[in-house]
Copies of this chain bind each other. A is one copy, B any other.
Amino acid sequence: MSHPTRLRVTVWNEGRHESTQPEIAALYPDGIHGAIAEGLRAELGDDTVIRTATLDAEGELLSEAALVDTDVLTWWGHMAHQDVPDETVDRIQRAVLGGMGLIVLHSGHFSKIFKALMGTTCSLGWRNDGDREQLWSVAPHHPITQGVPQPLVLEQHETYGEFFDIPTPDELVFISSFSGGEAFRSGATFTRGRGRIFYFSPGDQKYPIYHHRDVRRVIANAVAWAAPQSRELPSDRQLR
């Protein structure tokens, strides 16, 4: 299969912080999903169809039919991981194994879908003191790092630290340092079945990370990279 004429991306955001915390709504007036979608439009242009969805609206974008029509799903969640039903997680897992790309952002490391695909706790060290984070590419040959400055600098961000309990990535793409001294594997790819997965740690809700030009570039590169080569859904029997 060659790529469809237009790449179809679904930007999923839990969406709870924006509706309950005014300071976060102020950073993201269109929601975290709105900012991510805006970045994708700016970077990828008109050849991409972008839909956004949150836990409390457009949940149907995670239906079986919608996932079949999605080339790449980006995932942001934090305080409401448990509110995503297990059946939805199963559907997404099958879609990924069948070829759909998945970009997991920041606190999405603790989402049900990421844990299910990794098989590990996906736990990590963290503290939120507004440290300066620098992301260093360890993969200058990789499509995801093209056009991204070395290092990519976040003036203020939450700190994530090792040990990050994930399987050995297929490709390590970024490692971060924090002004407080931590180091972290902040960008990594995984292949599961026919699906490509990219974990990218920037994006705490308290900072305007998804308005950052270089972060947008990385996410756009990752979405393009994760587009399926071919698709073939596994049966339920295979997965359970």
Residues of A within 8 A of B (CB): 1, 93, 97, 99, 115-123, 132, 134-143, 146, 150-151, 161-165, 167-168, 170-172, 175-179, 181-185, 190-196, 228-230, 232, 234, 238-240
Contacts and interface: CB of A to CB of B under 8 A. Distances in A.
A239 B171 contact: no
B121 A238 contact: yes
A33 B190 CA distance: 35
B123 A238 contact: yes
Among A115, A118, A137, A177: residue with most chain B CB under 10 A: A177
B230 A146 contact: yes
A97 B118 contact: no
A55 to B, nearest CB: 18
Contacts of A120: 97, 192-193
Give how many copies assemble into the complex.
Answer: 4
Nearest to A112: B240
Contacts of A146: 1, 229-230
Contact of A239 (B121, B181, B184, B229): B121
B162 A121 contact: no
A2 B18 CA distance: 37
20 contacts: A97-B120, A115-B239, A121-B193, A123-B234, A123-B238, A134-B181, A134-B183, A135-B183, A136-B161, A140-B194, A140-B232, A141-B193, A167-B167, A168-B172, A175-B183, A176-B183, A177-B182, A177-B183, A179-B181, A183-B183
A230 B93 CA distance: 31
A190 B194 CA distance: 19
A193 to B, nearest CB: 5
Contact of A193 (B165, B193, B196, B234): B165
Contacts of A183: 134-136, 151, 175-177, 183
A226 to B, nearest CB: 10
Given A146-B229, A178-B177, A183-B175, A118 B121 contact: no
Contacts of A170: 168, 171
Contacts of A232: 140
Contacts of A184: 136, 175
A97 B140 contact: no
